[in-house]
Amino acid sequence: DSQTRLKAIIDTAIDGIITIDRHGVIETMNPAAARIFGYEPEECIGQNVSILMPEPDRSLHDKYIENYHRTGVGQIIGKGREVLGKKKDGTVFPFRLSISEVNLQDKQLFTGIVHDITELKKAEAALRESE
């Protein structure tokens, strides 16, 4: 059925897909997102998404979401941004984050797409050094 197909697509995606509730609590994480951040999905579900980022964003992320609810203006929604993530082992790495807002009948959630750009950044640095 269509739900099985959709799950297969999300489970095999290369990019990480994370959903959070309106307060920033992780509800779902696909296998790619778990691999990128070095966790098992079960370790993250129910935790604040801020566990996946270094300071200063880690302490500010709840405020970012609150500002969005108050003003309706998003800094990343609809635009995307390069941000830093933090893996379970403490490694900080760059990724491209896209966020979309999903308004279901009874609840609001946010979907984040995580595209790791560690290798791209390394290649760019090597290119600069060779110039």
Q: How far is the CB of 14 from ligand HEM (least distance, A)?
A: 16
Give strand ranges (E) for the chain.
16-21, 26-29, 81-86, 92-103, 108-116
Give me the phi and psi of 46, to 5 degrees please: 95, -10
Is residue 32 within 8 Å of 25, Cβ to Cβ? no
Q: What are the Cα distances from residue 99, in Å, to 16, 20, 76, 120? A: 12, 10, 6, 21
Q: Segment 58-97, which members bind ligand HEM (CB under 6 A)?
A: 61, 64-65, 67-68, 74-77, 83-85, 97
- Residue from 57, 88, 98, 115 that binds ligand HEM (CB under 6 A)? 57
Minimum CB–partner distance for residue 19 and ligand HEM (Å): 6
When the beta carbons of 85 and 116 are compared against ligand HEM, the nearer one is 85
Residue 118: partners with Cβ closer than 8 Å, 6 or more residues away? 93, 94, 95
Q: Which residue stretch of 5-13, 38-46, 48-56, 115-123 sits at the interface with ligand HEM (rule: CB under 6 A)? A: 48-56
- Length reported for the chain: 131
Q: How far is the CB of 127 from ligand HEM (least distance, A)?
A: 25
Residues that bind ligand HEM (CB under 6 A): 18-20, 49, 52-53, 57, 61, 64-65, 67-68, 74-77, 83-85, 97, 99, 110-112
